[in-house]
Amino acid sequence: MKKTLLLSALSLALLGSAAHAADTATLKVAGRLTNAACTPTMSDAGVADYGKIYLGNLSATATNQLGQKNITLSINCTAATKVAWRFMDNRAGTRPLGIEVANADVSGAATTDSVRTNGFGKTAGGVKLGGWALYVDLPNLKANGVAVDFLEGDNTLTHAWQKSTTGAVKNTSGNEFWYSTATTGSLEALAITNAVFPLVVSAAVQNTATLAITDDTPLDGEATITLAYL
């Protein structure tokens, strides 16, 4: 009987609470006026060019590592500004499952991770060509003219930053991964007028038996780098 009374009292309490619930909602419109503007630019017209790769020099049975190419991302701001960037693979659907890319971070480690490898396009027959990875050459990273730490954060720009020790750049595949800079030893994004990110591209293509190429076929990797103000 006591259980019944307690339940009844709880039900009345909930009904009473509902009867006095707020019947209004608040809409806020926010933003920020600023004189600052940041512009990203890439060296070499944004092309990491592997040139001609002769099929006769490639393995018919093993994944072929193409080596590395260097390209620089520069971010210039009209006033000291906290800014971050993200990286999106524009050929995500063309990455062969599990392809390994060697020397994919500053430590020289390889990767097969889907958020670390990016697509290279397909052959005329629809075969996925290969994959490539991107990392920042940490010892040569600079902002405002001095050496800085490389920060990484996932999902949201309000996420607590972490220092990257590998320099690995992840693509936006399900989650959003953001990158910024900090004064050495700090985890607070640095307000910059200029930052120079020395990027290293590592690439690999599938074995020639799988590719079954008979005509010239371009490697067609492409990605978009987007800025956001913090």
What is the pLDDT tens value at each position of the chain, 230 positions in all?
Answer: 333 334 333 433 444 445 556 788 878 787 666 667 999 999 999 999 999 999 999 999 999 999 999 999 999 999 999 999 999 999 999 999 999 999 999 999 999 999 999 999 999 999 999 999 999 999 999 999 999 999 999 866 566 799 999 999 999 876 789 999 999 999 999 999 999 999 999 999 999 999 999 889 999 999 999 999 98
The reported pLDDT for the residue numbered 33 is 65
Listed residue (223, 168, 199) closest to 70, CA to CA = 199
Residue 57 burial by Cβ neighbours in a 10 Å radius (0-12, 13-18, 19+): exposed
The reported pLDDT for the residue numbered 104 is 98
The reported pLDDT for the residue numbered 36 is 73
Strands (E), the chain: 38-42, 64-89, 118-119, 130-136, 142-143, 146-147, 149-154, 162-163, 177-182, 191-205, 223-229
Distance of CA 219 to the CA centre of its chain: 21
Residue 132 contacts residue 117 (beta carbons within 8 Å): yes
Query: Would you list the domain boundaries of the chain?
Result: 35-46+62-229
The reported pLDDT for the residue numbered 158 is 62
The reported pLDDT for the residue numbered 9 is 39
The reported pLDDT for the residue numbered 18 is 52
The reported pLDDT for the residue numbered 6 is 40
Token pair, residue 90, equals 């524009």
Which H/E stretch holds residue 10?
Answer: helix 2-19
Residue 123 contacts residue 107 (beta carbons within 8 Å): no
Distance of CA 193 to the CA centre of its chain: 22
Token pair, residue 197, equals 């990110």
Separation between Cα atoms, residue 220 and residue 202, nearest integer Å: 14
Q: In this structure, what are the phi and psi dihedrals at residue 190, rounded to the nearest 5 degrees?
A: -90, 135
The reported pLDDT for the residue numbered 5 is 38
